Structure 1
Amino acid sequence: MEILYPAILEPQSGGGFCVRFVDFDEAFTEGETVEEAQFNAIDVLTLTLEGRLEEGLPIPEPTPDLSGAVYIAPDARTQSALLIRRARGERSLADIARVLQTTWPAAERLEDPRHWPSLRQLDRAAAALGKRLVLRFE
């Protein structure tokens, strides 16, 4: 499962590009080049998702197959927090902590985008959720 949100890159009349995320009204940025705009978009998406996680706001599913959009992924920490939260579904953190044989705060940190879980922690969490951890470089 990947977390990729669609962004629209719009050339600006004075040069550069404006980037807006269709799934988040509050997420937009710009850049002088396409590469810079996409780089900035990663930061904006990451901060938007972190803020929503922190405030307990809903996080929409990414709009699939949007024509003309560029799909952007948040940073690895935020992606892992969202993936664990989605895989957990309705299961309580206490239930996950029991399966992982750890404390509730330790299980909660797995869904904190400011926390750096180890590969071992992620692998154990994936297994506890009936999933498999897969790494990929892009």
Structure 2
Amino acid sequence: MNVAYPYTLEPQPEGGFLVQFVDLEEAFTEGDTEEQAAFNAAEVLTGVLAVRLEQGEVIPPPSPANGRPVALPDAPVQAALLIHFARQGHSLSELARAMGTSWPAAQRLTRPGNPTLKQLERAAAALGKRLVLSLE
């Protein structure tokens, strides 16, 4: 699964660019240049998704980009999102049992933090998935 969220980039009459995420109405920012707007987009996306994860709010999967620019949250939020989406239909208790760990330990994997690769591999295996890393 990919957690690249598309956004619109609109030039503003007074200069700069407005960024609005397609799937997250509260996620918007701006930048003086397209490059700055893209950097700010990743920052605001990370913040909005981290808050939603911490508060147990609904997180929509990203829409297809369809030629729009996309932003990725930082690595700890990406890891939590991937576990969040992969465990749909599985309770935290089921995940903890399958991993041979405690419920609080399984819950920590669904929150932004710094899980180890070993923890992520165990969680992926428990969900019938495999961990794949990529540098882009």
What TM-score, normalized by structure 1, do the two folds share?
0.93
What does residue range 66-105 of structure 1 map to in structure 2 within 5 Å? 66-67=66-67, 69-105=68-104
What's the CA shift for 1:85?
1.2
Contact 2:9/2:20 (CA < 8 Å) preserved in 1? yes
Q: Which residue of 2 aligns with 1:42?
A: 42
Q: Secondary structure at the match of 1:94?
A: helix
Q: Which runs of 4+ in 1 moved over 6 A?
A: none
Contact 2:5/2:63 (CA < 8 Å) preserved in 1? yes
Q: In 2, distance between residues paired with 1:128 and 1:109?
A: 15
Deviations 1:35-55 (A, max 9, x none): 111011001111111111222
Q: Secondary structure at the match of 2:3?
A: coil
Q: Secondary structure at the match of 2:6?
A: strand
The residue type paired with residue 135 of structure 2 is F
Gaps of 5+ in 1: none
What does residue range 13-32 of structure 1 map to in structure 2 within 5 Å? 13-32=13-32
Q: Which residue of 1 aligns with 2:135?
A: 137
Instruction: Count residues in correspondence.
Output: 136
Identity of aligned residues (%): 57
RMSD between aligned residues: 1.2
The residue type paired with residue 20 of structure 1 is Q
Q: In 1, distance between residues paired with 2:118 and 2:55?
A: 28
Q: In 1, distance between residues paired with 2:110 and 2:13?
A: 41
